[in-house]
Chains A and B, each alone.
Chain A
Amino acid sequence: MTPLLHPYDVTREEGFRAPLDYNRKSLLKDVDRCHKAEIVSVIRLTRKERLFHIRLLEQGERERFSFLPGQFVMLELPGFGEIPISICGSTSQKGFLELCIREAGRVTTMLHRARVGSRVGIRGPFGSFFPLERMKGHDILLVAGGLGLAPLRAPIMHITENRSDYGEVRILYGTTEPEQLLFDYQYEQWRRVDGVTLSLTVDRPDAGWQGAVGNVVRLLEEINTPLEESYAIVCGPPVMFNSVCGTLHSRGIPRDRMFVSLERRMQCGMGKCCRCNVGSTYVCMDGPVFDFWTVMNLKEAI
């Protein structure tokens, strides 16, 4: 007997089996399938944070994968969970990702125990990015607190690699204690780039600390050149946003030229699970990068 209703096979839709590329978000695809990737090296940054070098295993995927500074990926540990992590490396590294990860819970703890050679999954990139094109020709302030240096590192890499496109670049970074400073082995490298300055501060100095003491707002206040024409990127704990962005505004930077990256719980990265919603905005789709004026208009953002 011929069936009265024909079965429908979604995998036979046009383009469904075409190579995975999460940048093409309007295509009907296998949205839960991840790129297989390998942890090629692990670099200990602090007691709680490690830098993972991750390489996509499939040649074609490696070539297609591209991201913009500020975007994130969903990192899958099969059988354990999937978490959103900002890409903290350079856009010029093809199919090779740097992820700086803090040990915070179930998945991240497991990851910190993972050995070199472990196979993980990557979905993405997802989300919005820092508008580095628009910032061309301007001075740039990069302000980070704590783990905020991780999402800030991608724009730092981009700007130092395309140094001639930008004016003066100031990196201001603060943590609670000196031993929490991330990427300390790279400071010298950044400082030596012409036109780039890096200032550090900590709240609780130890005996060996020779730098500034206090929070990053202090570092901002010490800048005595005009800032009106600058763009700013601010990454860190939400409490930092109001004070830093408030200070930047008092120095003449319009709020829509300051960018922040919001953190929310995320289970999909694709505007489906609603976990990342701020009011009615999807942080995974419209964010995580927002200009501060938009953030002020989001209910319950900070």
Chain B
Amino acid sequence: MLFRIVEKMAFRSLIQLLLETTQVIGPRKIAVTREGKPVHQYLPLSGFEELELGYDTTDIPAKSYFLPYEENLSTWSFIGNDWTQEITYRLQPRVLVGLHACDINALLKLDKVMTREFFPSPYYISRRKNSFIIGIDHEPCQGGFCHWLGTDSVNRGFDLFLTDLGDRYFVAIDSERGFTLLQQVAVRLVTENDTADYLTVRRRIASGFAPPLDVRQLPRLLDMEFDSEIWRRWGAKCLSCGSCAAVCPTCYCYGVSENVSMDFTRGAKVKQLYSCTLKDFAEVAGGHNFRSARETRLKYRYYHQHRGFVEQYDEPKCVGCGRCGRSCLAGINPQEIIGDLLATEVPS
């Protein structure tokens, strides 16, 4: 990996230059909570001023730019009793700036499902490769537990990754196009002084985390506790609303529905992201539901995060962003569930 230093003014010019030709998406303030806390969302920017790189976290992850909540898989044209199928893939490049390590780690996990061994998804790949990613280091966010899962730092999956050194950014470069783009503005080589500052910032960030829980036993514990009262207790609270999966940066399950235009000339096959906690997730024709009890659906979600995915890819699917816990109206949060499974208090 190559490293460079870019002054903040130069970084600003870079974004402005990009904005002239390309869609640039970044954390933008969209509201303020009653407690006065700003609410951010990854949205297209119209100017550099809208970009708030010091944001804490977002409620909605950046996954919607890779796996949209709704997308057309195919379009049908009907002619007589025949039809044709059209499929289009993203062709326009865009920039996502300001992603945190957890969200880039989430993309790396989605890459494993969507781009490898079996049936690579051209829908995902076309969006992923057309996305130029600029990540940024940050102080631990509220309610995150990425350090339990080793996703508090990231070494791949981005084009550029920034660490704020006050008046300048320390930039890690992980792609040729990233290196080339940086040539548009003034950059310089890293000095010993920059390295020392970088290490200080990284140490400060690391010291901001409470001691982690050890999640390595989770795959086995989930099997052992399959019939545990833990699930009945937490399951009894669950409203089966599906928010947790909707806001999870690594949840990718979906449903498909089709429609026909009023004049019967066109139709579409549409994919919608779904949630395994929704009641009919595993229902089949005839009405049989393989997971009719809500606790079984909640359990299944944790099972996939911390056991199933580990079995397939040797790492949990969860990146510890804490979004599911923050969005849950019933107060169900992953730290406490994991704590219960490990029979440990969650350090705060």
Footprint of B on A, CB under 8 Å?
1, 3-11, 16, 25-34, 76-82, 104-105, 108, 117-119, 121, 263-265, 267-268, 270-275, 277-281, 285, 299-300
Q: Complex: how many Å from CA A280 to CA B311?
A: 8
User: Which DSSP category, helix, strand, loop or mixed, fits chain A's interface?
Assistant: loop
The answer, yes or no, to whether B69 is at the interface (CB within 8 Å) is: no
The answer to whether A7 touches B93 (Cβ under 8 A) is: yes
Q: Complex: how many Å from CA A300 to CA B304?
A: 13
Known A104-B286, A105-B285, A263-B284; judge A273-B255 contact (CB<8 A).
yes
The answer to whether B307 touches A265 (Cβ under 8 A) is: no
In the complex, chain A residues whose CB is within 8 Å of the CB of B184:
4
The answer to whether A30 touches B284 (Cβ under 8 A) is: no
The answer to whether A280 touches B285 (Cβ under 8 A) is: no
Known A4-B18, A6-B177, A280-B304; judge A30-B253 contact (CB<8 A).
no
Contact partner of A78 among B89, B91, B258, CB < 8 A?
Answer: B258
Interface digits, B226-261 against A, CB 8 Å rule (1 contact, 0 not)?
100000000000000000000000001111111110
The answer to whether B304 touches A25 (Cβ under 8 A) is: no
Q: Complex: how many Å from CA A108 to CA B126?
A: 33
Known A8-B93, A34-B85, A280-B309; judge A274-B253 contact (CB<8 A).
yes
Contact partner of A26 among B117, B121, B252, CB < 8 A?
Answer: B117
In the complex, chain B residues whose CB is within 8 Å of the CB of A265:
281-284
For window 269-310 of B, CB contacts with A under 8 Å fall at: 269, 274, 276, 281-286, 290-291, 296, 300, 303-304, 307-309
Q: Complex: how many Å from CA A11 to CA B129?
A: 12
The answer to whether B282 touches A5 (Cβ under 8 A) is: no
Q: Complex: how many Å from CA A272 to CA B252?
A: 8
In the A-B complex, the 4 residue pairs with the smallest Cβ-Cβ separation, listed nearest first, are A280-B308, A79-B267, A274-B253, A104-B285
Q: List 15 A-B contacts (CB under 8 A).
A: A3-B21, A4-B184, A6-B177, A9-B126, A10-B89, A16-B122, A34-B85, A78-B267, A79-B260, A82-B269, A264-B282, A270-B119, A272-B119, A273-B254, A274-B253
Closest residue of chain A to B126 (Cβ to Cβ) is: A10
The answer to whether B253 touches A9 (Cβ under 8 A) is: no
The answer, yes or no, to whether B344 is at the interface (CB within 8 Å) is: no
In the complex, chain A residues whose CB is within 8 Å of the CB of B22:
3-5
Q: Complex: how many Å from CA A7 to CA B276?
A: 35
Interface size (B, Cβ < 8 Å)? 68
B300 CB to closest chain A CB (Å) equals 7
The answer to whether B125 touches A274 (Cβ under 8 A) is: no
Q: Complex: how many Å from CA A29 to CA B125?
A: 11
The answer to whether A33 touches B226 (Cβ under 8 A) is: no
The answer to whether A119 touches B83 (Cβ under 8 A) is: yes
Known A104-B285, A119-B81, A265-B283; judge A78-B76 contact (CB<8 A).
yes
Contact partner of A79 among B17, B122, B259, CB < 8 A?
Answer: B259
B178 CB to closest chain A CB (Å) equals 10
Contact partner of B304 among A30, A76, A274, CB < 8 A?
Answer: A274
A165 CB to closest chain B CB (Å) equals 30
The answer, yes or no, to whether B132 is at the interface (CB within 8 Å) is: yes
The answer to whether B87 touches A32 (Cβ under 8 A) is: yes
A241 CB to closest chain B CB (Å) equals 14
In the complex, chain B residues whose CB is within 8 Å of the CB of A278:
290
In the complex, chain B residues whose CB is within 8 Å of the CB of A264:
282, 284, 290
Q: Complex: how many Å from CA A271 to CA B313?
A: 14
In the complex, chain B residues whose CB is within 8 Å of the CB of A108:
285
A86 CB to closest chain B CB (Å) equals 14
Q: Complex: how many Å from CA A186 to CA B252?
A: 44
B31 CB to closest chain A CB (Å) equals 31
The answer, yes or no, to whether B181 is at the interface (CB within 8 Å) is: yes
In the complex, chain A residues whose CB is within 8 Å of the CB of B207:
none
In the complex, chain A residues whose CB is within 8 Å of the CB of B177:
5-6
Known A118-B81, A273-B253, A280-B309; judge A7-B284 contact (CB<8 A).
no
Q: Complex: how many Å from CA A4 to CA B94?
A: 10
A58 CB to closest chain B CB (Å) equals 13
The answer, yes or no, to whether B113 is at the interface (CB within 8 Å) is: yes
Contact partner of B255 among A76, A267, A299, CB < 8 A?
Answer: A267
The answer to whether A79 touches B119 (Cβ under 8 A) is: no
Given A8-B91, A32-B73, 8 other A-B contacts at CB below 8 A?
A: A5-B21, A8-B126, A79-B259, A79-B260, A81-B257, A263-B284, A274-B252, A281-B308
Closest residue of chain B to A106 (Cβ to Cβ) is: B285
The answer to whether A1 touches B21 (Cβ under 8 A) is: yes
B268 CB to closest chain A CB (Å) equals 8
Closest residue of chain B to A10 (Cβ to Cβ) is: B126
Closest residue of chain B to A77 (Cβ to Cβ) is: B258
In the complex, chain A residues whose CB is within 8 Å of the CB of B226:
299
A253 CB to closest chain B CB (Å) equals 27
In the complex, chain B residues whose CB is within 8 Å of the CB of A273:
253-256, 274
The answer to whether A4 touches B258 (Cβ under 8 A) is: no
Interface digits, B145-176 against A, CB 8 Å rule (1 contact, 0 not)?
00000000000000000000000000000000
The answer, yes or no, to whether B215 is at the interface (CB within 8 Å) is: no
Interface digits, B77-95 against A, CB 8 Å rule (1 contact, 0 not)?
0100111010101011101
The answer to whether B121 touches A272 (Cβ under 8 A) is: yes
The answer to whether B284 touches A272 (Cβ under 8 A) is: no
A192 CB to closest chain B CB (Å) equals 35
In the complex, chain A residues whose CB is within 8 Å of the CB of B125:
10, 28
